[in-house]
Amino acid sequence: MRGVDDPSYLNCSSTIQCGGLQNASYPFWGLNRASYCGLSEFELTCQDNATALVTIVNQAYRVLRIDNTSPSMTVARNDYWNTICPSNLINTTQDITSPFSYTTDTVANLTLYYGCPPSPIQITSSIASSQFHCTINGTYMMSYFVTKLSNGMTYGGVNLTDVMTYYKSCNTSMVLAASRSAVQEIELNSNNMTVVSAINKGFGLQWTADDKCNGCLGSGGQCGRNETSEDFVCYCRDKSYSSACSGM
């Protein structure tokens, strides 16, 4: 007769529910799942009981979807949700770091320039469709969004060098990741709403799956980690094992 299930096994058997994100499990932890149920970089919080967040390089991202088969997730900058005029301009100067990496086939850059001076007459009409205005921390800013520029090309009939020289005169630039298809929509229909929509759709991040987890799950266990050594742990009904449950 089997005794009471191991507490760590029971805790890691639970999944995270937050708004539209349901049943998040290893490598994620947080809320009702103890830290030993996931990898340290995969902590989830739940904003207003409705929005799952993950913090990467000190920046909060909304977790829109998780695909454990890839494994990958779709995330979006939380401070840019439904707006291109955030309360503060915080640039992600440090790139996404391990264990995460961009899903390179689907990610493109979207650059936002803030606090720009009046544009030179020769380029004004060419960049007018990408202009927007913000008031951030009480400061009114003329701003622009740009999807892609390549040296030597023309930009709306104007030499690219003139356009880039102007953008570099703006006070702040922000480089945001977006899906390639969403950026293409901006290029087809250049306005503020398509930019907001592109940011809200998010972009893909991937990581390398731990091969031991499938074996652990197949043996009836729950995947986790040793918080001291950071080694993989398989939490089973009787106790923990290094890779899979034994003789259950």
Residues 244, 216 contacting (CB under 8 angstroms): yes
Does residue 134 form part of some domain?
no
How many domains does one find in the chain? Answer: 1
Is 163 inside any structural domain?
A: no
Rounded Cα distance, 91 and 102, in Å? 17
Element spanning 15, H or E? none
Q: Spell out the residues 6+ positions from residue 121 whose beta carbon is closer than 8 angstroms to its own.
A: none
Phi then psi dihedrals of residue 105, to 5 deg = -70, -15
How confident is the prediction for the chain on average, in pLDDT? Answer: 90
Residue labelled with tokens 């830290």: 35
Within a domain: residue 86? no
> What pLDDT is attached to residue 153?
47
User: How far from chain centre, in Å, is Cα 146?
Assistant: 20
The band of 122, judged by pLDDT with boundaries at 50, 70 and 90, is: confident
Distance CA 230, CA 216 (A): 16
The Cα–Cα gap between 146 and 74 comes to 22
pLDDT of residue 93: 52
- Quote the CA–CA distance of 151 and 161 in Å, as a whole number: 7
Most confident of 34-38, 92-96, 158-162: 34-38
- Residue, of 241 and 248, whose pLDDT is higher: 241
In a domain, 91, yes or no: no
CB atoms within 10 A of CB 6: 17
Q: Which of 125, 110, 133 is nearest to 199 (CA)?
A: 110
The answer to whether position 174 is within a domain reads no
Mean pLDDT confidence for 176-200? 92
SS3 119: coil
- Is residue 185 in a domain? no
Please tell me the predicted confidence (pLDDT) of residue 124.
86
Query: Is 115 within the bounds of a domain?
Result: no
Q: Are strands 232-235 and 240-241 parallel, antiparallel or unpaired?
A: antiparallel
- Which tens digit of pLDDT belongs to each residue from 132-159? 999 998 999 999 999 875 444 446 667 7
Distance CA 64, CA 175 (A): 20
Neighbouring C-beta atoms of residue 1, cutoff 10 Å? 2
Report whether 38 contacts 68 (CB < 8 A): no
Q: Give the range of the structural domain holding residue 61, as residue numbers without chain letter.
A: 1-71+209-248
pLDDT value of position 1: 41
* Burial annotation 37-68 (CB, 10 A radius, 16+ → b, else e): bbbeebbbebeeeebbbbebeebbbbbbebee
Residue 224 lies in a domain: yes
